[in-house]
Structure 1
Amino acid sequence: MSAYSSQETNCVEVGHTSNGAAVRDTKDRSADYFTTTGQQWAAFIDAVKDERFE
Structure 2
Amino acid sequence: MSEAMQRMMPEPAEFQSACDYGACVEVAITEVVAVRDSKAGQDGPVLWFSRSEWEAFVAAVKAGRFSVG
TM class by smaller structure: 0.7 to 0.9
Cα displacement string for residues 6-43 of structure 1 (whole angstroms, at most 9, x for unaligned residues): x73211100013x2210000111242101100000000
Displaced runs of 4 or more, over 2 A? none
Tell me the matched-pair count: 52
> Alignment partner for residue 16 of structure 1, among 22, 25, 29?
29
CA distance in 2, matches of 1:40, 1:31: 22
Gaps of 5+ in 2: 1-14
| CA displacement at 1:3 relative to structure 2 | 3.9
CA RMSD of aligned residues (A): 1.9
**3-state secondary structure, aligned to 2:40:** coil
TM-superposed CA distance for 1:4, in Å, is 6.7
Task: Indicate the residue corresponding to 1:27 in structure 2.
Answer: 39
Q: What TM-score, normalized to structure 2?
A: 0.62
**Larger helix share, 1 or 2:** 2
Whose Rg is larger?
2
* Partner residue of 1:49 out of 62, 65, 69: 62
